[in-house]
Amino acid sequence: MLTAICGINWGDEGKGKMVDLFSADYDIVCRYQGGNNAGHTVINDKGKFILNLLPSGILREDVVNVLGGGMVIDLKHLTEEMGRLREHGIRITPENLKISDRAVITMPYHVRLDCLEEERLADKKFGSTRRGIAPVYADKYMKKAFRMGELLHPDVMYARVKDIVEWKNLTIVGGYHSDPVTVEEVLEYFKTYGEPLKPYICDTGLYLNEANKAGKNIMFEAQLAALRDIDFGIYPYTSSSSTIAAYAPVGAGVPNLKLDKSIGIMKAYSTCVGEGPFVAEYFGEAAERLRALGGEYGAATGRPRRVGPFDVVASRYGIRCQGADEVVLTKLDILSDYDEIEICTGYELNGKIIKEFPYPDALNYCKPVFEKVKGWHCDISACRREEELPEAARDYVRLLEKLCDCRISYVAVGAERDAVIKRG
Ligand code: GDP
């Protein structure tokens, strides 16, 4: 069984929690894109964990975790993340963590370039997480990046260092007038943070193919979400990688395998970190109230998230892009405080109501159309069966299911692992 767990909205839907829960039925959890630019927060019996690079399956003893070739890996960040988990008693060995030899290495100069560019942009900045993600993906496609597998072939790698450093300095020194990168600091980075990771590096495509043949269940865990996808998202306010479920087999290293299922994670309201058009956005008191109720601050950066009500137009588009067979509706409990709940059911563009998500540039001219439904106004976080939910909450779930035209198979009502309702 090959399943992708992906985000339907702008990210931060609670994918980490759901992967953590679902991983009980999987032998392998594999990240297939992105880097340490987002964070999954997982709360379970072992504690509270923020995972930026490691798959959420790392918190389960018997799950093998894979960092796929579509990823970009900051070696220092990974080393520190592994260290933090080990301090909490989490076992991480080459047996339960495998890093693709095709994955690209995020270098300290990528992080520096990311910061230099955001500073240059000043008030026109993109809201980058400054983790070097755009510069490293750019280098990947320029064929000037280092890959994990090169750590196993140091002669080839070291021969490229001088040329790449020279080339990078054309931009860093020539363009940004910043201090040059040196060959020595690059070699030092590989020695300090690359060498110890060598035992974990392998051909994860081969590993996953063999595991699949042996009948193992494999889950692909996406970072970010449909509206942040480099091709289908709100470009240029997107991430630099493909967050789409269909990319999972490619980014994991198994382009020959087909997904059996795509499960979308969709939030009961909307949040968006950083810049870019966000049609259904709340401002002022309405925003502060929802942000406080949902604790909407970025896991990786601590930045306050922009918030708004559930957006049917964007979510339907997200479901289509992800080819979602079913969705999990998360954070329903956060809406318990409201007497009436707003839903964005359409966008008004040039005097017309549209229901399909437009080309991103048109979003700047769209106005949200809000409709109101009755709230339930009571705590639902202890509910574990659908019948236990108040009628208004059940109606809200049914309404979103109908408006989005996709089955809602689970509803999450709290941050804890078991705070989930499986629908009949
Ligand atoms: P991810 O990147 O998609 O995994 O999302 P984040 O981890 O950034 O944000 C999700 C946050 O919401 C985390 O702190 C989760 O523990 C929490 N969370 C997930 N599902 C629920 C839920 O149903 N209710 C509540 N209250 N919190 C949830």
* Residue whose CB lies within 8 A of the most ligand 1 atoms, among 44, 307, 331, for a mutation test: 331
Q: Is the CB of residue 55 below 6 angstroms from any atom belonging to ligand 1?
A: no
Quote the pTM value: 0.93
In tens, the pLDDT along 101-155 reads 999 999 999 999 999 998 898 877 677 778 999 999 999 999 999 999 999 998 8
Q: Report, at the CATH architecture level, how domain 266-422 is classified.
A: Alpha-Beta Complex (3.90)
Q: Is the CB of residue 12 below 6 angstroms from any atom belonging to ligand 1?
A: yes
Q: Percent of the chain at pLDDT above 70?
A: 99
* Residue whose CB lies within 8 A of the most ligand 1 atoms, among 330, 333, 337, 381, for a mutation test: 330
Average pLDDT over residues 280-291: 97
- Annotated active-site residue 27? The verdict is no
Output the pLDDT for position 268: 98
pLDDT at 15 over 90: no
Output the pLDDT for position 124: 75
Number of residues that make up the chain: 424
Average pLDDT over residues 82-110: 96
In tens, the pLDDT along 191-217 reads 999 999 999 999 999 999 999 999 999
Atom of ligand 1 nearest to the CA of 16: 4
Out of 12, 114, 139, 311, pick the active-site residue: 12
CATH assignment, 2-103+201-263: 3.40.440.10
> How many angstroms is it from 18 CA to the middle of ligand 1?
9
Q: Is the CB of residue 325 below 6 angstroms from any atom belonging to ligand 1?
A: no
In tens, the pLDDT along 150-176 reads 999 988 888 899 999 999 999 999 999
Domains 2-103+201-263 and 266-422 share a fold: no
pLDDT at 297 over 80: yes
> How many angstroms is it from 416 CA to the middle of ligand 1?
9
- Annotated active-site residue 12? The verdict is yes
In tens, the pLDDT along 235-256 reads 999 999 999 999 999 999 999 9
In 3D, which of 279, 242, 301 has the Cα closest to residue 118? Answer: 301
Domain boundaries, the chain: 2-103+201-263, 104-197, 266-422
Determine phi and psi for 151, rounding to 5 degrees.
Answer: -60, -25
What CATH number matches the domain at 104-197, 2.70.98.70, 3.40.50.10190, 1.10.300.10, 1.10.3720.10? 1.10.300.10
pLDDT at 413 over 80: yes
Output the pLDDT for position 300: 61
Which of the residue ranges 3-7, 122-126, 290-294, 306-310 would you say has the lowest mean pLDDT? 122-126
Output the pLDDT for position 169: 98
Output the pLDDT for position 301: 67
Output the pLDDT for position 299: 64
